[in-house]
Amino acid sequence: MLKNTLLLDALQGKEVKRPPVWMMRQAGRFLPEFRDLKDKYDFFTRCRTPELAAEITLMPIKRFPLDVAILFSDILVVPQAMNIPFEMKKSVGPFLENPISSLEDIQKLDTTGAEDRLEYVYKAIKITKEQLNDELPLLGFAGSPWTILCYSIEGKGSKTFDKAKAFCFKNPNWAHLLLQKITDVTIKYLEKKVESGVNAVQIFDSWGGLLSPKDYEEFSWKYINQIVEALSLKTDVIVFGKGCWFALKTMSQSKASALGIDWTISPQKAREFTGGKITLQGNFDPAKLLSDPDKIYAEVQQMIREFGVQNYIVNLGHGILPNVSIKNAESFIKAVVEFNG
């Protein structure tokens, strides 16, 4: 039985003494011990080696009084399992030499048993769970189908993903075929994560905010909602759509247990748009972790007061930046752990 149930209690709308806290990308690049491993192993070697993935997952847990561990992995392992050979290129990030550009490319994707090719992820979950020893819950995740499509068509990161958007607007039927394939694999993948031991899952829609509300409904939300519908039968689901404040009302009417939000919306508006009932997660600007520790502490406590203790999970509005100091990250977490109204 889990000793710290704060996250699960918040997801299920139970009363808590203080909100739970974790940070997106907490098992990663701002930690010196992570950078040491980075010098020894390339990115996807770390993802594909269960022992290394488990070790990285636990790094922030050993340093900080966090309320949840999030499995070290990457959203691109799903398209890799579909025979979309992403690599992580230095100074570029995600890179695909031959991006998807035709119906033929989509039709030849290997989706049969794709979730089984991710066995290394499930092994990492089992090792991590053993080492956590029921101290904390473990969170699994996947990218939204739209976000995976963006990388698969663009071939690399982008501020606008114009190439990916143009593909969808010119060839909507092709886009929907690709999105459905990604959705089907993602559902099976997350179900196997739950079977392997994760206590909840999060869907990252990093690029949903690049779409208009109408296009978001067509090309992103309808596929995320398929995942939510399937996974909500087995576990709690958090949906995080960066820049997707316009869809909060629709999202709040789904079977998601919580909605992650970024810093471009106030706590008051987020509560208003979601009807004040669903659990919210966020929304501290990651760049604010570069300010003074005392200021971070005060602003985090004020953020909690504005959201309210109940139905709330403290987090950043996006992933932690690599140049954040340990002291400042500690101040963020301490402000939550010591919160007393």
**Which residue type, as a one-letter code, is found at position 322?**
P
CA distances for 340 relative to 88, 143, 264, angstroms: 43, 35, 26
Q: Is 176 annotated as a binding residue?
A: no
CA dist., res. 178 & res. 192, Å (int) = 22
Decide if 165 contacts 209 (C-beta within 8 A): no
Burial class (CB in 10 A: 0-12, 13-18, 19+), 133: exposed
Q: Is 10 annotated as a binding residue?
A: no
Q: Is 180 annotated as a binding residue?
A: no
Q: Is 318 annotated as a binding residue?
A: yes
CA distances for 252 relative to 161, 245, 258, angstroms: 27, 11, 8
Q: Is 206 annotated as a binding residue?
A: yes
Print the SS3 string covering 99-140: CCCCHHHHHCCCCCCHHHHHHHHHHHHHHHHHHHCCCCCEEE
Q: Is 27 annotated as a binding residue?
A: yes
Query: What does DSSP say about strands 87-89 and 93-95: parallel, antiparallel, or unpaired?
Result: antiparallel
Decide if 46 contacts 57 (C-beta within 8 A): no
Angle at 95 between CA 60 and CA 99, to 5 degrees: 135
Q: Is 312 annotated as a binding residue?
A: no
**Which residue type, as a one-letter code, is found at position 115?**
E
Angle at 23 between CA 323 and CA 36, to 5 degrees: 45
Phi, psi of 156 (to 5 degrees): -170, 180
Q: Is 26 annotated as a binding residue?
A: yes
Q: Is 63 annotated as a binding residue?
A: no
DSSP state of 97: S
Three-state DSSP class for 314?
Answer: strand
Decide if 201 contacts 235 (C-beta within 8 A): yes
Q: Is 74 annotated as a binding residue?
A: yes
Known binding residues: 25-29, 44, 74, 151, 206, 318
Binding residues for substrate: 25-29, 44, 74, 151, 206, 318
